[in-house]
């Protein structure tokens, strides 16, 4: 069973938060605010926060910018993971991801099923890795953001979580990636 090993050091990570919405502002973004509050309460740093409209090109561009930023370890988005025509967050993730973390969406939907039943089938929550940065896409409801953080990410982004966690893998995420040299 999983647990927090208090003998291990807590290593804070730098997390960028993106809300995907055509209608929210920083003042009305309750899901983004809930995520920021949880990230900070867990002892991590909010490296950046923004709102991007439901446009795959804009979402992918912001993801790419944060992937390239050495001060961002993790990106968590909320919104745009449904099945309507404007829901394009998973498609934007597909453009930038090098590896998918299949279990994230599977686990999110399993846990969500316990709370909202079969309605969870409409969620296309996804996760992956690109350029040594973790990427997680959560649905846009405040409840879904809380569930994704409280039931999965708070543990996997805690370096003390046993038997394993995403933080301990961070130094090895870039293994095997082609490094581009600016000295050519």
d(CA 71, CA 165): 20
pLDDT at 174: 82
Count of CB atoms within 10 A of residue 158's CB?
22
Q: What is the pTM of this model?
A: 0.93
pLDDT at 102: 97
What is the fold, at CATH topology level, of the domain defined by 9-72+79-166?
A: Molybdenum Cofactor Biosythetic Enzyme; Chain A (3.40.980)
Q: What is the dihedral of CA 76, 108, 39, 14, to 10 degrees?
A: -40
pLDDT at 177: 65
d(CA 149, CA 107): 12
DSSP state for residue 54 in the 8-state scheme: S
Residue by residue, DSSP assigns 90-157 as HHHHHHH-SEE-HHHHHHHHHHHHHHHGGGGGG---EEEEETTEEEEEE-SSHHHHHHHIIIIIHHHT
Beta-bridge partner residues of 136: 76, 127
- In this prediction, the residues of the chain whose per-residue pLDDT falls under 70 are 1, 177-184
d(CA 83, CA 62): 22
β-strand pairing of 161-162 with 3-4:
antiparallel
pLDDT at 176: 72
Instruction: Express each pLDDT in 121-170 by its tens digit.
Output: 999 999 999 999 999 999 999 999 999 999 999 999 999 999 999 999 99
The reply to whether omega before 125 is within 30° of 0 (cis) is no
pLDDT at 181: 39
d(CA 77, CA 64): 13
pLDDT at 184: 39
pLDDT at 175: 82
d(CA 152, CA 138): 11
Cβ neighbourhood burial of 182 (10 Å; 0-12, 13-18, 19+): exposed
Domain locations in the chain as residue ranges: 9-72+79-166
């Amino acid at each position: 069973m999983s647990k927090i090993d208090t003998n291990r050091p807590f290593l804070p990570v730098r997390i960028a938060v993106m809300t995907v919405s055509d209608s929210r502002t920083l003042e009305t973004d309750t899901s983004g605010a809930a995520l920021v509050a949880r990230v900070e309460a867990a002892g991590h740093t909010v490296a950046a926060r923004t709102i991007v409209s439901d446009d795959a090109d804009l979402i992918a561009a912001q993801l790419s910018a944060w992937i390239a930023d050495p001060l961002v370890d993790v990106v968590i988005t909320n919104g745009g993971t449904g099945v309507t025509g404007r829901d394009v967050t998973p498609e934007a993730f597909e453009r930038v991801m090098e590896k998918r973390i299949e279990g994230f969406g599977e686990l999110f939907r399993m846990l969500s099923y316990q709370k909202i039943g079969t309605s969870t089938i409409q969620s296309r929550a996804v996760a992956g890795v690109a350029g040594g940065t973790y990427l997680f896409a959560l649905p846009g409801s405040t409840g879904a953001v809380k569930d994704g953080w409280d039931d999965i990410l708070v543990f996997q982004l805690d370096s003390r979580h046993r038997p394993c966690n995403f933080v301990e893998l961070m130094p090895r995420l870039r293994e095997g990636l082609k490094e581009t040299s600016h000295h050519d």
